[in-house]
Structures are given as structure tokens and as C-alpha cells.
Amino acid sequence: MAEVIGSILILLGALFHFSAGLGMLRMPDAYTRMQAGTKASTLGNTLILAGLAFYHPGWTLKLIILIYFVLMTNPVSSHVLARAAYRIRIPMARETTVDALRDARKPWRGSA
């Protein structure tokens, strides 16, 4: 029974990873691609590691630490990448309507 649950979780995780890959191919600009890649792969990793915990109950603690690590690092690194892309003025998709960072930047525009 535990193996079936674990397999289903790993399959779900693989599905999310697939959608991440699909997003990388199909999204129009760097920012949306990054968003697709990060969000889907974070959830995909979490699900796969959780599924592994069902297969090997002895590894559970280490896997929880790994999940915590992925949850901590993935968003931070993609945030930094997106910010760097914004700084070197990589163009956004034409459909973009809101640029929250530009509005927030106004007070310290002089230094940028």
C-alpha cells in the first residue's frame, strides 16, 4: 500500500516536472519561463521526495531536510535570477501590463 502511494506521489511530481519543461519551451519571455520552471519544479521535487519517503521510511528525516532545503533555495535563487535579468533590461513579453518593480524602484531611481 505504501509503495502504491509513493508511486502515485512520484508520478505526480514527474507530471509537475514535465509541466515545468513545457513552460520553459512555451512561455513567451525570460520572466514567465523562470516562473514556470521554478514553481513547477519546486512542487515536483517536493512530491518526488515525499514519494521516496514512502518507499524508504528510514530516510524520512533526511528527505524532510531536503524538501526544506529545496523550498528555501529554489524561490530565492529564481528571485535573484529574475532580478538580475530585470537589471540588465531583458525585454518582457509584449502582453505584460504590470511592472511592480519599476513602480517600487522610483524612490531610488538616481542610484540605478
Partner 1 sequence: MIRRASITVAVILFGLVFASLAANHVGHQSLPPLAKRYVELVPQDLGAPNVITGILLTYRAFDTLGEVAVLFMVAAGVGLVLKTRKRRSKKSPETQPRQASEIVQTGAQILVPLIAIFAAYIIMNGHLSAGGGFQGGAVIASSVLLLLLADPQQRLDLDFLSSTESIAGVLFVLVGVAGLILADGFLDNRVLPLGEFGAFFSAGAIPLLSVLLGVKVGCELSVIIDRFRA
Amino acid at 16: F
Q: Which is nearer to partner 1, 12 or 85 (CB)?
A: 85
Q: Binding to partner 1 by residue 93, rule CB under 8 A?
A: no
Instruction: Confirm or reject binding of residue 83 to partner 1 (CB under 8 A).
Output: yes
Return the range that interacts with partner 1 (CB under 8 A); candidates 16-24, 53-61, 65-73, 91-99: 65-73
Find the shortest distance in angstroms from Cβ 79 to partner 1: 5
Number of CB atoms found within 10 A of residue 48's CB: 21
Q: What is the dihedral of CA 86, 90, 95, 101, to 10 degrees?
A: 10
Residue 52 DSSP SS3:
helix
Which of 73, 91, 99, 105 binds partner 1 (CB under 8 A)? It is 73
> With 0-12 CB in 10 A as exposed, 13-18 as middle and 19+ as buried, what is 103?
exposed
Binding piece for partner 1, criterion CB under 8 A, among 8-16, 35-43, 46-54, 76-84: 76-84
Q: Examine residue 22 and tell whether it contacts partner 1 (CB under 8 A).
A: no
67: helix, strand or coil: helix
Among 2, 11, 72, 90, binds partner 1 (CB under 8 A): 72
Query: What ranges in 1-112 are assigned the alpha helix state H?
Result: 2-26, 30-55, 60-87, 100-105
> Applying CB under 8 A, which residues contact partner 1?
69, 72-73, 75-76, 79-80, 83
